[in-house]
Amino acid sequence: ETGVTQTPRHLVMGMTNKKSLKCEQHLGHNAMYWYKQSAKKPLELMFVYSLEERVENNSVPSRFSPECPNSSHLFLHLHTLQPEDSALYLCASSSSGGNNEQFFGPGTRLTVL
């Protein structure tokens, strides 16, 4: 399998549930990103991992917890979410050289009831 994959593609959860989003890249990149895309706001950068270390956290609430166990995998652990967290969550990866183009996964459509 090639490119950036995300699972699940769709997720519906209650406010008290705990779930995790998974992202996997097969491009040999060393940086990975989580974005949130909602109807109200343009793409918002949430987290950046470079060489498996978090380098950016744009004031994201603690109910979102990222994990990057290796350069190919990125998780977003979710707990006690709010309905306003319903959005499309996009994962991306890039290398550190060249134009640093980010390759995006198809996203996970999250609905919080």
Partner 1 sequence: GEDVEQSLFLSVREGDSSVINCTYTDSSSTYLYWYKQEPGAGLQLLTYIFSNMDMKQDQRLTVLLNKKDKHLSLRIADTQTGDSAIYFCAESRVRGAGNMLTFGGGTRLMVKP
Stretch that binds partner 1, among 14-22, 61-69, 75-83, 91-99 (CB under 8 A): 91-99
DSSP 16: T
Q: Which is nearer to partner 1, 2 or 16 (CB)?
A: 2
CA angle 59-61-66, nearest 5°? 90
Site for partner 1 in 18-57 (CB under 8 A): 30-31, 33, 41-43, 45, 48-51, 55-56
Tokens of 1: 């399998």
Nearest Cα residue to 8 out of 108, 111, 112, 113: 108
Binding residues vs partner 1 (CB under 8 A):
4, 6, 30-31, 33, 41-43, 45, 48-51, 55-56, 90, 92, 94, 96, 99-107
